[in-house]
Amino acid sequence: MRVAIYGRKFNDSAIQHVQQLIDSFLAHEVEITIYAAFHAYLIPRIQLPDSVKLFTQHQDLLNQVDCLVSIGGDGTMLDTLTLVRDSGIPVIGINMGRLGFLASIAKTEIATAVDSLVKGHFTIDKRSLIKLESNIELFNGLNYGLNDLTIHKKDTSSMIIIHTYLNGEFLNTFWSDGLILSTPTGSTGYSLSCNGPVVFPESESFVITPIAPHNLNIRPIVIPNNNVISFEVEGRMDDFICTLDSRKEVVSKDVQLAVRKEAFSFNLVRLNENNFLRTLREKLTWGFDTRNRRS
């Protein structure tokens, strides 16, 4: 088996777990490739075999690895989308951060996770993506996201006005700080914190959630993801902020934006004992009530 490892700098207290991950893969005779910048960070901190290979971009992974391992938090997992792109390479996340909703494998489960991965005891969750289309190139051509797209006012400027259309038909005008268009995966992220609904990952839908709307009767809405959603932005400022997951662009309000479902998906590795409902209960304490305690 061949695996690639991607990560960022993090607290040195977690370094021992990276060493455990490397040692576990070597014990199973797995071929290891590490992201070059992460490898440079690890060199003075852990013991790495001479056989380790390096990669710097997504072309280095094509037909070269069977799986990409993300070490960090959910933000690190989102980074991996720009590395695997449309290759279909499955991604598994080892959580070194806090919540770990996407990176769901705990540090204490590393040995078990590696064993399951090598033996093929896992499930692939195909997560839908959003694709941003615009009349100018944005995000260096990496115009897709796993979690969400947001349109947001700049800094402390006044609210913006976002005219929103579904397949060319007027939906609504949002007077707000911004708007979130999330996938089912992203429904438990920024959208949730703005009172958006939780949507199951396999749902064929998008969620449109306003950010601090200046209207009492505006609520989030769930729509089928076979719609094309387009936006026209007005405001006192000449530009606004547009984000795709953790990437950001400052965009002129004259730029035309539309979003649709991306043709390819993100392949998330899920160990068989984990599922979405368990994650909701354990990570977000959904439904927590002391009366539900079982003896």
- CA pair distance 196, 210, nearest whole angstrom: 9
**What is the separation, in whole angstroms, between the first and last Cα of the chain?**
43
Indicate whether 287 pLDDT > 50: yes
Tokens 């690895």 belong to 65
Which residues are identified as catalytic?
Answer: 74
Quote the pLDDT of residue 295: 46
Report CA-CA distances (Å) from 92 to 14, 219, 247, 271. 18, 34, 21, 9
Tokens 């959208």 belong to 191
Quote the pLDDT of residue 66: 96
Class of residue 224 by CB neighbours under 10 A (exposed 0-12, middle 13-18, buried 19+): exposed
Domains recognised in the chain with CATH numbers: 2-128+265-292 (3.40.50.10330), 130-261 (2.60.200.30)
What percent of the chain is modeled with pLDDT above 70? Answer: 97
Quote the pLDDT of residue 70: 95
Quote the pLDDT of residue 276: 77
> How far, in whole angstroms, is CA 168 from its chain's centroid?
28
Query: What is the per-residue pLDDT across 168-194, written as a single tens digit (0 to 9) for each?
Result: 999 999 999 999 999 999 999 999 999
Query: What is the per-residue pLDDT across 216-253, written as a single tens digit (0 to 9) for each?
Result: 889 999 999 999 999 999 988 899 999 999 899 999 99
pTM summary value? 0.91
Residues 70, 6 contacting (CB under 8 angstroms) = yes
Indicate whether 282 pLDDT > 50: yes
Quote the pLDDT of residue 272: 66
